């Protein structure tokens, strides 16, 4: 049984984990950098250990410092949160060697899923759909056209050494293939001095749909429904919701089963997320598996009523899952907005500084996960996320209204935030009608 958890993280997720531990009667140890002496997680935990200077590489990423802190405080488990060392298989392995419970999957599983091609192969052999593409390099157009036909149009032609969009062309129809291939190859040759090409199916304006899964040490795996995280800026999620209006019961079942299959194939254990790209025609493809708790986990918690962090700790201490798939019911609709210290008018430049005044909304169906308070100084060294505002209501429409109202109440003075930007997104008619995909923000 876990008695004391060291939280190898900072910010709201550290606070979230401390709260879960406290509710379970588990002692907590916070670690903090010199820049985080006044941080909420430092103050809230039962014990706190300074692990180094402000830069993450010398503190929150410093494995030996964190191990030392674990030893001297006598913690028996480490919760890595997200980011930092959470998906570092070497760190997980060190914990295993030192007889520390790493709250997450086994190190070899993290490693396997972190390797893109290995993860892809695992999924292919488990029968989980991946984006079809050539495995062998293609040099000539005729052979390429044959492969493209097999893969299915539209296709994207990519230079093996490609980057920055160079040597990349989309062919929507077979008639376009020849010229697209020639241009891409010519460009590749000129830019990289190499004309090795790959062809893969082009997933047009997909949605980002991810499935939360829970797996215990005894091979029981369930999914907790999906999250629609299509509202992204530069691959950074901004709004997440559950359930997704793009999924009907049938598709949810199909994708959920694929997610469970994926987790089983990877011998997964603890909480994890399978990310898919969903095409308009209902085809979906495995992208990657995140082997940690995610920022957007509260939307799932709200529609399923399951506390994911507590489940993580239970699973890590060897408990069996208490529910089966049929026990999981999605109730109502939850939406999360990430509130960041950044200025959308200045190209989302981070805006560290001291929060002079703060008011955060509340009331029925409103949840705030944050680590900020009046007088808190947002350090410039870390991620700019300040808080997560999550709402829950019976329907999506109602949830949107609630989010609008809640965002309207947020007051954070002293630094720039993206609250107004989020307010505009929520009010966007396309968003409200659910007409979204991962290029939504790009098109604004």
160's enclosing H/E stretch is strand 155-163
For residue 120, give both structure tokens. 């892809």
Please give the DSSP secondary-structure letter assigned to residue 57. Answer: G
Give me the count of residues in the chain.
Answer: 444
For position 31 contacting other proteins by CB under 8 A, the verdict is: no
Quote the least distance from Cβ 71 to other proteins, whole Å: 6
Chosen residue from 34, 47, 383, 424 binding other proteins by CB under 8 A: 47
Q: Toward other proteins, which CB reaches closer, 65 or 304?
A: 65
Stretch that binds other proteins, among 40-48, 162-170, 185-193, 276-284 (CB under 8 A): 40-48
Enumerate the H helices of 297-418 as residue ranges. 297-304, 308-316, 396-409
For residue 48, give both structure tokens. 């706190």
Quote the least distance from Cβ 95 to other proteins, whole Å: 8
Quote the least distance from Cβ 60 to other proteins, whole Å: 15
List residues bridging with 390 in a β-sheet: 336, 367
Chosen residue from 72, 146, 190, 444 binding other proteins by CB under 8 A: 72
Distance of CA 209 to the CA centre of its chain: 11
Q: Toward other proteins, which CB reaches closer, 115 or 427?
A: 115
CB neighbour list of residue 136: distance below 8 Å, 6 or more residues apart: none
For residue 353, give both structure tokens. 């500084």
Q: Mark 358-397 with x for binding to other proteins (rule: CB under 8 A) and - for no binding.
A: ---------------xxx----------------------
For position 75 contacting other proteins by CB under 8 A, the verdict is: yes
Q: Toward other proteins, which CB reaches closer, 102 or 198?
A: 102
For position 304 contacting other proteins by CB under 8 A, the verdict is: no
Chosen residue from 24, 34, 44, 432 binding other proteins by CB under 8 A: 44
Query: Quick check: 325 and 222 in contact, CB under 8 A?
Result: yes
Chosen residue from 7, 21, 31, 45 binding other proteins by CB under 8 A: 45
Chosen residue from 2, 17, 21, 67 binding other proteins by CB under 8 A: 67
Chosen residue from 24, 63, 245, 401 binding other proteins by CB under 8 A: 63
Q: Which of 10, 16, 169, 292 is catalytic?
A: 292
Q: Toward other proteins, which CB reaches closer, 93 or 283?
A: 93
CA dihedral 137, 141, 145, 151 (to 10 degrees): 20
- Closest CA relative to residue 42, chosen from 25, 59, 58, 57: 59
Catalytic, 292? Answer yes
Query: How far is 349 from 96, CA to CA, in rounded Å?
Result: 39
CB neighbour list of residue 13: distance below 8 Å, 6 or more residues apart: 81, 82, 293, 295, 369
Cα angle 41-333-280, degrees, rounded to a multiple of 5: 110
Q: Which of residues 83-142 bind other proteins (CB under 8 A)?
A: 90, 94, 97-100
Cα angle 217-220-222, degrees, rounded to a multiple of 5: 125
With CB under 8 A as the rule, give the number of residues binding other proteins.
30
Q: Toward other proteins, which CB reaches closer, 1 or 324?
A: 1
Active-site annotation, residues: 292
Interface residue list for other proteins (CB under 8 A): 27, 38, 40, 43-47, 49, 63-65, 67-68, 70-76, 90, 94, 97-100, 373-375
């Amino acid at each position: 049984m876990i008695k004391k958890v060291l939280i190898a993280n900072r910010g709201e997720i550290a606070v979230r984990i401390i709260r879960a531990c406290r509710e379970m009667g588990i002692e907590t140890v916070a670690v903090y950098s010199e820049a985080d002496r006044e941080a909420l997680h430092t103050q809230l935990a039962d014990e706190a250990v300074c692990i180094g200077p402000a830069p993450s590489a010398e503190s929150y990423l410093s494995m030996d410092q964190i191990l030392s802190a674990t030893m001297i405080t006598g913690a028996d488990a480490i919760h890595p949160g997200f980011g930092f060392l959470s998906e570092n298989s070497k760190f997980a392995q060190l914990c295993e060697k030192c007889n520390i419970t790493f709250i997450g999957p086994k190190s070899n599983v993290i490693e396997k899923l972190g390797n893109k091609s290995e993860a892809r192969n695992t999924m292919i052999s488990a029968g989980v759909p991946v984006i079809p593409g050539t495995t062998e390099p293609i040099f000539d157009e005729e052979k390429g056209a044959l492969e493209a036909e097999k893969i299915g149009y539209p296709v994207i032609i990519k230079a093996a050494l490609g980057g920055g969009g160079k040597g990349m062309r989309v062919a929507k129809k077979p008639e376009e293939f020849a010229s697209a291939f020639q241009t891409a190859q010519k460009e590749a040759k000129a830019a990289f001095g190499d004309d090795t090409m790959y062809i893969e199916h082009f997933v047009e304006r997909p949605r980002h749909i991810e499935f939360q899964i829970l797996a215990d040490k005894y091979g029981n795996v369930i999914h907790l429904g999906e999250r629609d995280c299509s509202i992204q800026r530069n691959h950074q999620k901004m709004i997440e919701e559950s359930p997704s209006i793009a999924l009907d019961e049938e598709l949810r079942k199909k994708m959920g089963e694929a997610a469970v299959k994926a987790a089983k194939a990877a011998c997964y254990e603890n909480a994890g997320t399978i990310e898919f790209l969903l095409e308009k025609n209902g085809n979906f493809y495995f992208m990657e598996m995140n082997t940690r708790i995610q920022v957007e986990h509260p939307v799932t918690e709200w529609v399923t009523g399951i506390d994911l962090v507590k489940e993580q700790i239970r699973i890590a201490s060897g408990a069996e899952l208490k529910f089966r798939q049929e026990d999981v019911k999605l109730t109502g609709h939850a939406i999360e907005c990430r509130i960041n210290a950044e200025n959308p008018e200045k190209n989302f430049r981070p805006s560290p500084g001291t929060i002079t005044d703060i008011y955060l909304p509340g009331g029925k169906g409103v949840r705030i996960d944050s680590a900020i308070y009046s007088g808190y100084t947002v350090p410039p060294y870390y991620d700019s996320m300040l808080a997560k505002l999550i709402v829950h209501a019976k329907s999506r429409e109602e949830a949107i209204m609630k989010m609008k109202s809640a965002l309207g109440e947020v007051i954070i003075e002293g630094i720039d935030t993206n609250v107004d930007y989020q307010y505009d997104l929520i009010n966007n008619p396309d968003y409200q009608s659910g007409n979204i995909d991962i290029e939504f923000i790009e098109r604004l």
